[in-house]
A and B are shown apart, each in its own frame.
Chain A
Amino acid sequence: MNKSLNQSLFFLFLLFLQVLILNNINFLGYINPYLYISFVFLYPLKEKRFSFLFFSFLLGLLVDFFSDSGGIHAFSTLFIAYFRLFFVKVFFRKIPADYPFFNIKSESFGKVFNYVVTLTIIHHLIYFSFANFSFQNLSMVFLNTLYASVFTLILFFTGNYIFTKNE
């Protein structure tokens, strides 16, 4: 009970952090971090995935509602949510029996880094491709992906560092 309450508070916190603060940063005119995807990194691994997929989709869709982007955030967030398991297998070498005991905070930094960076870049690449919605300005898509990914990752790892140290 306590756990699911924590999860929903974290969900709302990320949503409002994203739409009320991070969407208005516009560093150098156009660079914004998309920190709300850390929901996907930190949601516990479970055998049953329906709720996880649905909540990822819902978080993306709510961000879409606020930022007038159709369903782009929902699409890209759901995409990394579905393929998260694959990357957990690749980077952490886990089998389904390990899922209940998996905790991202107890893993080594190198593995977590690879995992988070891969998912972030996939998410941002899909997001900016759809936001651009044409084959022109492809260089802008890649540059945006690069800048925004760096921004998101800096925020994610700083936040992670601060919040784990207190415990």
Chain B
Amino acid sequence: MQQIIYFFQKFKYFLFFILLEFIALTFTFNNLNFHKSKFVNSANSITGGFYSTLSNSTEYLDLKSENELLSEENTRLKNILEKNITVSFDIDSTVIDSLKYQQKYTFTNAKIINNNYSKPFNFLTINKGKNQKVDKEMAVINSKGIIGITENSSSNYTRVQSILNKNSGINARLKGNTSYYGTLKWDSKDYNTVQLHDIPRQAPLKIGDTIETGGKSTIFPEGIPIGSISKINQGNTADNKVDVLLFNDMSNLGFVYVIKNLHKEEIQSLENTNNE
């Protein structure tokens, strides 16, 4: 017993040091795991509160560009609306608008209050949380393209795993009539470029082609723009890798939409049924 007490006396600082380092390592490993990052993140009320105060005081600096984005988006949406109205008037029979009764997605607007893009594992914080029905595994986009997936939410704030995160893997496809799919990942080198992996070799790729979300997941609706192809790998590598230049400037983000898939639980329960 004397020996043990003496041991603790002698190495007390070292043992304290090891204990705290162990705690820090636990936080680090949990943070890299999508489903476990509960404790240390910027979506709690204290850090979220600080960031939202800061962003409230700086948001007027980029009001002009935000307004331009908004008016561009409004013009685009108005054009789409106009097209649809003319089409529905042309048909002189009863139109059953199936979309109306099978709404699949709901949109919530939110503001980014903290943005990271310079590290290998980047996260964003938005100012909506469980009180506003924003929860984990929802898509986050803006008018130009995709931004990330919500990961962890407190009552008023949510942390978003950016597409600029080495853990992110999003289903994406070539825009057009073809249906060639790949996985969108990031190699942590340049915040304007992401990589599309495993796209089939026979896919007709050209520089400048648009890449959009594939709709093969329960998170992103299909057809949301991502970026354009900037470099095609000519070599015979195992995974056919294509560089994609993002439409979004990830270093300058303001208001976003959070998309909730109303059919997610139904799809997931179907996929998880055991084979008998």
Contacts and interface: CB of A to CB of B under 8 A. Distances in A.
A133 B122 CA distance: 13
B181 interface: no
Interface in B29-50: 29-32, 37, 40-42, 44, 46-47, 50
B24 A137 contact: no
Interface string A76-112: 0011001000000000000000000000000000000
A133 B44 CA distance: 25
Contacts of B26: 71
Interface residues of B, number: 42
A40 to B, nearest CB: 13
A71 B32 contact: no
B157 to A, nearest CB: 12
A133 B120 contact: yes
A66 B24 contact: no
Contacts of B44: 65
Interface residues of A, number: 34
Nearest to B117: A26
Contacts, number: 107
Interface string A38-81: 00000000000110011001001100111111111011001100
Interface in A23-43: 26, 29-30, 32
A67 B116 contact: yes
B121 A133 contact: yes
Interface stretch (B12-20, B76-84, B142-150, B221-229): B12-20
A61 B24 contact: yes
Contact of B28 (A26, A54, A72): A72
- The binding surface of chain A is classed by DSSP as helix
Contact of B120 (A29, A50, A71, A132): A132
Interface of A: 19-20, 26, 29-30, 32, 49-50, 53-54, 57, 60-61, 64-72, 74-75, 78-79, 82, 130-134, 137, 140
18 contacts: A20-B54, A26-B251, A29-B251, A32-B118, A53-B13, A61-B27, A66-B51, A68-B114, A68-B125, A68-B159, A69-B31, A69-B121, A71-B26, A74-B27, A78-B21, A79-B21, A132-B188, A133-B120
Interface of B: 13-14, 16-17, 20-21, 23-32, 37, 40-42, 44, 46-47, 50-51, 54, 114, 116-123, 125, 159, 166, 188-189, 191, 251
